[in-house]
């Protein structure tokens, strides 16, 4: 994985640890914050949330400077043992340039998804931190799954995907590699920027929500043409119905994925229960995983915390 820093793993969470809520992207509803605080406290954690967490500028959770300062402060504060993004929306990539090039702190778990994909890619690929693509903390089931991966409830189960569909049988076999990726629209939007995503010998996870097929096609093409998939060992899509607006005929998307798989020099699978779907299971970026296309499974060989 040339050019990719080795993963640095955070310690596991323990009861009584302090965790921070941050809003690096879209504006946050007060009810969602209250729900997240209540759920985290009920699981034995102490919660830190800035009073201006629910600020708003257009659709953003306050000015770029507010969001960047909140995020950088939580990431570098040694008293904070984990950071949870409260929501996605839009805005994470606007503040990546404001983050210091070096973390200046020991790694800690960072959990988010959707627009937070931009942040997860930056922290893993630039800082070397192992991070978790997982649900926002107002989702009780998603939160418990993420906390399980972070060791709060003991050793978690490491099999994430079962009954995955293999779109190009015969293309390679067992793959052992790190997983990376996230929301397709963010991976595509990062192309051509200093924060661009690169596969670099990894299993690429891709998910999306409520997009027409032509836009999914365009984003896949942009990601591939920009070199974002160069060196990929495999691509695993999330559950395909979640990519589309509700009620949309899935057949055109299936044709697109089949076309993508026919030209791919690596296994292509779909059906991972992560991202904009229920359940939204956590996908750690950092530990090695084993993808068995024939069995339709993705399982992690290592924990997300050490």
SS (H, E, C) 45-108: CEEECCCCCCCCECCECCCHHHHHHHHHHHHHCCCCCEEEECCCCCCHHHHHHHCCCCCCCCCC
pTM of the model: 0.96
Instruction: Check if 92 is active-site.
Output: no
CB 75 within 8 A of CB 107: no
**Of 114, 226, 242, 270, which is the active-site residue?**
114
Residue with tokens 């209540």: 38
Is residue 211 annotated as part of the catalytic site, yes or no? no
Residue holding tokens 């099999």? 159
Strands across the sheet containing 268-272: 159-161, 297-300, 288-292, 175-183, 203-207, 234-238, 268-272, 165-166
Helix (H) or strand (E) holding 225, with range, is helix 213-225
Report how far residue 57's alpha carbon sits from residue 17's, in angstroms, rounded to the nearest whole number.
32
pLDDT digit string, tens, across residues 238-270: 999 999 999 999 999 999 999 999 999 999 999
Integer-rounded Cα Rg, in Å, for the chain is 18
Kind and range of the H or E run holding 292: strand 288-292
Structure tokens of 117?
């994909």
* Tokens (6 digits) for 137: 């903390």
Q: How many residues make up the chain in this entry?
A: 306
pLDDT at residue 160, rounded to an integer:
84
Where does 18-149 sit in CATH, by number? 3.40.50.10740
Q: What is the pLDDT of residues 31-80, one digit of tens each?
A: 999 999 999 999 999 999 999 999 999 999 999 999 999 999 999 999 99
Ramachandran angles phi, psi of 76, nearest 5°: -100, -10
Q: What is the CATH code of the structural domain delimited by 159-300?
A: 3.50.30.60
Query: Which of these is catalytic: 70, 138, 207, 208?
Result: 207
Q: Are 138 and 36 in contact (CB under 8 A)?
A: yes
- Cβ contact 108:81 at 8 Å: yes
- Give the per-residue pLDDT at 153: 82
Separation between Cα atoms, residue 252 and residue 217, nearest integer Å: 10
Task: Kindly state the greatest CA–CA separation across the chain.
Answer: 55
Evaluate whether 133 touches 92 at the Cβ level (below 8 Å).
no
- Spans of all domains in the chain: 18-149, 159-300
Q: Catalytic residue at 207?
A: yes
Per-residue pLDDT of the chain (306 residues; tens, 9 = 90+): 457 899 999 999 999 999 999 999 999 999 999 999 999 999 999 999 999 999 999 999 999 999 999 999 999 999 999 999 999 999 999 999 999 888 888 999 999 999 999 999 999 999 999 999 999 999 999 999 999 999 988 766 677 888 999 999 987 789 999 999 999 999 999 999 999 999 999 999 999 999 999 999 999 999 999 999 999 999 999 999 999 999 999 999 999 999 999 999 999 999 999 999 999 999 999 999 999 999 999 999 999 999
| Cα–Cα distance, 173 to 171 (Å, whole number) | 7
């Amino acid at each position: 994985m040339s050019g990719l820093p080795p993963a640095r793993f955070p310690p596991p969470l323990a009861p009584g640890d302090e965790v921070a809520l941050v809003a690096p992207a879209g504006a946050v509803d007060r009810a969602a914050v209250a729900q997240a605080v209540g759920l985290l406290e009920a699981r034995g954690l102490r919660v830190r949330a800035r009073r201006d967490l629910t600020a708003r500028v257009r659709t953003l959770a306050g000015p770029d400077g507010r969001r960047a300062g909140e995020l950088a402060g939580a990431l570098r504060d040694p008293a904070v043992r984990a950071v949870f993004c409260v929501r996605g929306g839009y805005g994470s990539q606007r503040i990546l340039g404001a983050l210091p090039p070096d973390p200046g702190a020991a790694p800690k778990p960072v959990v988010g998804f959707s627009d937070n994909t931009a942040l997860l890619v930056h922290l893993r690929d630039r800082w070397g931190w192992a991070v978790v693509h997982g649900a926002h903390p107002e989702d009780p089931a998603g939160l418990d799954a993420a906390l399980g991966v972070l060791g709060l409830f003991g050793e978690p189960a490491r099999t994430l995907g079962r009954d995955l569909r293999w779109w190009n049988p015969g293309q390679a076999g067992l793959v052992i590699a790190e997983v990376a990726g996230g929301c397709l629209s963010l991976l595509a939007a990062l192309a051509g920027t200093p924060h661009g995503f690169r596969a670099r010998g990894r299993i690429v996870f891709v998910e999306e929500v409520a997009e027409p097929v032509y836009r999914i096609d365009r984003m896949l093409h942009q990601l591939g043409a920009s070199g974002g998939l160069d060196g990929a060992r495999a691509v695993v899509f999330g559950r395909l119905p979640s990519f589309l607006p509700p009620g949309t005929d899935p057949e055109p998307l299936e044709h697109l994925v089949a076309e993508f798989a026919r030209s791919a020099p690596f296994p292509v699978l779909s059906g991972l229960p992560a991202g904009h779907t229920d359940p939204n299971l956590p996908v750690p970026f950092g530990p090695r995983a084993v993808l068995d296309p024939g069995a339709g499974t993705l399982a992690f060989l290592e924990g997300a915390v050490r």
